[in-house]
Chains A and B, each alone.
Chain A
Amino acid sequence: MEDYAERIVGRAIDLGCQDAVADVSVNRSYQIRFAQNQIVISNRWRETTASAFLVYKKRVVASDIKDFTRLDAQVDNLVKIAKASQENPDYGGIAKGPFKYDRLSVDKKIVDLSDGYDHVDAAVNGALEEGAKECAGSFWKYDEEHYLRTSNGVNAYDHRANLYLSIRALVSLESSGHGVACATKLSQFDPEKAGHKAGKIAALAKSPKSGEAGKFDIIFDPLIFGSLIDQVGGHAGAWTVMAGLSPFAKKVGKRIASEAVTLIDDGSADSIGRKRFDAEGVPTKRNVVVQKGILKTYLHNTSTAKKFKAKTTGNAGLVSPDTHAMVCKPGDWTRDEIFEECKDGLWLTNTWYTRYQSYVTGDFSTIPRDGIFRIKKGEVVGTWKDIRLTDNLINVWKSVEGLSKNVDQVQWWGEVYVPTFAPYALARKIGITRSAE
C-alpha cells in the first residue's frame, strides 16, 4: 500500500505539482445491525482507498481513488484538473516532515475478532433484564490501516482498530433509553453495561406526559452532553469560522463557557478516535480549545494556521481542519451531587437533530429523545415527552455550573460525530419549548 501512496505523490510532483499528499487506507471493518432483538443484517468491508491532495501553483485538488488499476491515469487527470483550476491565495502549504510519532499499537484481540454476536447478545440481554421489550442498534469492529506519504517528507503508518456498540432499548414507542460502549481493548469492551443503561432509562421513562415550555435547570447525561461538546469542537475549526458557520468568530481569548468548562481535542489520547497523525502527517496532540470557559484556539491545518497567524494544531483533514476526539475535563462533583443540586428541573439523556437559526449567534434547537425526566429536589418525579431545547450555544455553555468527576466515552450516530469524553453536567435556566396546541 505504501507503494500506491509513493506512486501518487511521486507522479504528481513529476507532473509539476508543488505539494502532494496520499493517504492509502485499508478498511477491514465489520458491523452487525440489530432490531427487534434480532440481527437484521451483517456487513463486511474489504476496501482500499487512496485519498489524494495535490497542489499545482496554489490550485488545490482533492480526490479519493478506488480503482488502482488506473492509478497513474487518475493522477494525471487530477493534475490536469488542478492546472485548469483557480489559484487559492489562502493556501499556505503542507507541514514539513518528517515527524516522530508515538508508538501506538492496536489490541491484536480486536484485530483477530471474527464476529460480534456475543457482544450483541450481551447488550440486548442487559437491556431486556432491565425491562426493555425491544432493542435496536449496531455493533462495529473498526479495523483500518493508513499509509501516508507527503511531498514534504512524511512517511507514516497507523493502524486503528476499536470496538463500538450502540443500543436503543424501548419499553414502548415513547419509553426508551440509549447506551453506548466504546473500547480500544477487547478486555475493556462492555456492551452489557450499555444494554443495562439503555434498558434502565427505558424502564424509568414509562408513561411520559407532554412537557411544558419554560426555563429549566438541566442535568445532561453524558450522551447528550457529548452532543453539546461536539458542537463546540465542530465550530472551533478555523475553516468553519471563516465560512460563517461558527459562533466563535473573533472570540479567541473571550469567554464562551462557564469557568467550570475545559474542553480539549486530543487525537493522541487513548480513545476510539485515536490516530497518530493528521491528514498532513502532523502528529496529533492535546489541544486545549476551551480553558476554564475561555476559547483558547481554533483548530488548524497549515493553511488556516498561516491565515490566523498561528501554528497548525495537527487537525488537518483532506481540505479543512477536523476534530479528532474531544475531552471535557472532569469536574469535582459526584453524579449524586449533581442530581441533589437540581431542585426543580429536568434530566435529559439523549438528543438529536441539532440545527441553527444563526451559526454566527449560535441560536439553535435540538430535540431530546429517549428518557426525559422531571427532577425535583434531586429525585425523578415524572417523565416527559415532546419537548425541544431551544437556546443559544454560548448561553448554554455559560450556564454550566457543575460537572461530574467521572466521564464516559461516547459517540453516537448523527449527534456525537467524534469520540467524546463527557461527564454529567448541571446547567441553569435553559430554554425549553414544545409544540403549540
Chain B
Amino acid sequence: MADLDLVDFAVDYAREKGASYAEARYEHQIEEQFILKNSVLDALYHGEDSGIGVRVLAKGGLGFAATNAMTRTDVKALVEDAVKIAKAAHRKDPISFAPEEPVVTNWSVPQRKKLSDVPVEDKIEEILHVDREVMALKFKLVARYFQQANKQIDKYFVNSEGSKIRSFSPRVRMFYFLTLQHNGSAEQTSQNYGWSGGWEAMDELRMRERVIEEAKSMQNSLEHGKKSPEGKMDLVAGPQVTGIASHESCGHPTEADRVLGREASQAGKSFITPASVGQRVGSPVVNVCDDPTMEHGIAYYAYDDEGVKARRRYLYKEGIINEFLQNRETAAILGTRSNGAARATTYNVEAIVRMANTFVEPKDWGVDEMVEGVKFGVYMKSFMEWNIDDKRYNGKYVGREAYLIENGKVTTPVRKTVIELTTPTFWGAVDAVGKDLEIFHAGFCGKSDPGQALDAALGGPTMRLRNVYLR
C-alpha cells in the first residue's frame, strides 16, 4: 500500500488551491483471471492496479485527475490539474452537491476462505475440474470458454467535509461460454456468476452443478426442442430473466444522471422524467429494488464512492415509479438527498450513478404453483440474446433454456422464444412473484466515458406474466 497520508494531503491541498469541495480516493486492486479455452489454460492474468483519483468542485465546475505516481510532487501536480480544469468549465449553472454528514469508518467484506490464501494451483484446478466434468458428459461441446476472476479491492476515501473511509472488498466471478452441437445444429450459452467474499464462493455458487445442468439442458433443447409458439400467452420467467429485466428496464431508467441527460451521448437517456415519480409502470405485485447491502451480492458495499451510506432503494414500488438512484450531484439538482449510488470501477475514473444488486423483491409463490395456473405458455429459465433501447422502453430477451407449459405442466423444450415488449407491457403483465430469490447472476454494467464496466448483480425470483405476446 502507498503512503495514505498523501490522500489526506491531496484533499487539503485542493482546498488550499481554491476548491470549494474536494475528495480523493486511493485504490489498490489485485485482480486475477484464469482463462481456460477448450481445456487449455490460455493465460493467467495477475495485475495490481493502484493509484489516486482526485475530484474537486471549484467555481461551480467539476474537475477530476488521476495518477498512479504516489509521490508528494505528483499528487500536488494532480491536484493542481483538477482544480485548474474545474475552474475552466465556466458553467452557467454551478454544480453543487447535496449535503451529507461526514463519516469516519472502516468496513470490509468477510471471507471464510481468504482469496490470498488459496494457491494459484487450486484456483486453476477448480476450472479444470468443471471442464473435465462437463466433458465427461460426452456431448459435442465444440467450444468451451471458462473465466474465473478474483478481485481484492482496498480503498481509502477522504473528502473535505471530514469523511475518511477505508474499505476492503473481495469479489469472485465465474464466467462460462459453451457451444454445443447436435445433428448439425448448435446451441450457445453465456453465464456469469458473482460473489462478494472469499473462495467459499465456489461452494456457494455451485458452479460444477450449474455447468453440468446447463450442458444437459442444451443437449435436451437440441434433441427435443420445438419451435417456440407465437401469439399471446402466459410466461413464467425464471430468476435470470427477472434479473436482466430488473436491471435493464428498471435500474437503468431510474438512474438520475441518465434522467437528467448527463449520459445522453453514451448510455442514453430514460423514458422516465423527474415528473414520472408516482406514475404506474407495472402491476401492483411488482417491487423492484436495488440494494448494495445484500450480503454476498457481487456489488456489495457499505458506503459508496462519495462516502454516503448504502441502503435499499425501491425503484418500482407496487408497480409505481418510486425512487431514482442518486449521487450527490443529481440529488442536489433534484432537491433531494443522495441514496448512496455513486461508484467508480477504479481510482482513475469519477464515481457516477450506478446500480448495485438489482432484483425483484420476492413474494410467496412457488414455481410449481405459478406453472399450475398456466393453461398454455412458456417457462423461460434463461436467455442468450438481449438488448434494450437507450431510453429503456423496448426490451428484448431471447430464450436459451425454455419449455412449453401445457395445462399446468412443464412439457417439451422450446427454442429461441422471443420476448420483445415495452417496459410497461412487461411489468404490467406480472401477476405472481415467487419466493425463490437468486442474487448471484452477475453482469458487467457499462456506462460513462471512459467506459466503466462495473460489477452488478441481476437477480430475482421467478415471476409469472399473463397474456403477453411471444414468438
Contacts and interface: CB of A to CB of B under 8 A. Distances in A.
Interface of A: 30-31, 33, 35-36, 38-49, 59-67, 69, 74, 77-78, 81-82, 84-90, 115, 117, 134, 136-138, 166-168, 170, 173-174, 176, 178, 239, 242-245, 319-320, 352-361, 363-367, 369, 386, 388, 413-414, 433-437
Nearest to A353: B387
27 contacts: A35-B263, A38-B93, A41-B63, A42-B63, A44-B64, A46-B66, A47-B51, A62-B46, A63-B45, A64-B48, A66-B51, A81-B46, A85-B124, A88-B43, A115-B88, A117-B90, A167-B265, A173-B269, A243-B143, A245-B143, A367-B390, A388-B420, A414-B446, A414-B451, A436-B420, A436-B469, A437-B425
B131 to A, nearest CB: 12
B2 A47 contact: no
Given A42-B64, A174-B391, A367-B394, 6 more contacts: A38-B91, A47-B51, A64-B47, A87-B41, A117-B90, A357-B384
A41 B67 CA distance: 17
A40 B266 CA distance: 14
Contacts of A367: 387-390, 394
B387 A35 contact: no
Contacts of A359: 179, 188
A41 B82 contact: no
B44 A435 contact: no
Nearest to A319: B43
A117 B88 contact: yes
Nearest to A176: B264
B75 to A, nearest CB: 10
B136 interface: no
B161 interface: no
Contacts of A136: 261-265
Nearest to B347: A66
Given A174-B391, A357-B384, A367-B389, A42 B85 contact: yes
A43 B64 CA distance: 5
B265 to A, nearest CB: 4
Contacts of A388: 387, 394, 396, 420
Nearest to A246: B143
A352 B390 contact: yes
B45 A62 contact: yes
Q: Which of A33, A66, A353, A358 has the most CB of B within 10 A?
A: A66
Interface string B437-471: 00000000010011100000000000000001101
A356 B469 CA distance: 21
Interface string B124-142: 1000100000000000001
B69 A46 contact: yes
Q: Which 4 A-B pairs have the closest CB atoms?
A: A244-B143, A436-B469, A353-B387, A42-B85
Interface of B: 2, 35, 37-38, 40-51, 61-70, 74, 77-78, 81-82, 85-86, 88-93, 95, 119-121, 124, 128, 142-145, 177-179, 186-188, 260-269, 271, 348-350, 384-391, 393-396, 398, 416, 420-422, 425, 446, 449-451, 468-469, 471
A319 B35 contact: yes
A46 B74 contact: yes
Nearest to B87: A42
A317 B310 CA distance: 39
A338 B264 CA distance: 30
A437 B82 CA distance: 50
B44 A436 contact: no
Contacts of B471: 436
B41 A86 contact: yes
Contacts of A40: 62, 95, 262
Contact of A31 (B62, B187, B269, B449): B449
A48 to B, nearest CB: 7
Contacts of B68: 47-49, 66-67
A360 B41 contact: no
B389 A61 contact: no
Given A358-B384, A360-B188, A66 B451 contact: no
B77 A66 contact: no
A386 B389 contact: yes
B143 to A, nearest CB: 3
Contacts of B268: 352, 369
Contacts, number: 258
Contact of B393 (A243, A365, A386): A386
A26 to B, nearest CB: 11
B67 A46 contact: yes
A355 B449 contact: no
A405 B326 CA distance: 47
A413 B266 contact: yes
Nearest to B128: A86
Nearest to A65: B48
A63 B449 contact: no
A64 B46 CA distance: 8
B428 to A, nearest CB: 12
Nearest to B349: A43
A434 B394 contact: yes
Contacts of A43: 63-66, 85, 349-350
Nearest to A356: B385
Nearest to A43: B64
B385 A90 contact: no
Contact of A137 (B49, B69, B265): B265
Q: Which of A49, A134, A244, A369 has the most CB of B within 10 A?
A: A244
Contacts of A36: 260-262
Contacts of A355: 385-387
Contact of B37 (A41, A46, A134, A242): A242
B188 A244 contact: yes
Contacts of B422: 435
Contacts of A60: 41-44
A417 to B, nearest CB: 10
Nearest to B125: A86
Contacts of A61: 43-46
Contacts of B62: 40-42
A15 to B, nearest CB: 15
Q: Which of B78, B145, B384, B394 has the most CB of A within 10 A?
A: B394
Nearest to B145: A243
Contacts of A47: 51, 66-69, 348
Contacts of A319: 35, 42-43, 45
B265 A168 contact: yes
Nearest to B65: A44
A436 B421 contact: yes
Nearest to B36: A86
Nearest to B394: A435
B385 A42 contact: no
A167 B178 CA distance: 38
A176 B268 CA distance: 11
A369 to B, nearest CB: 5
B128 to A, nearest CB: 8
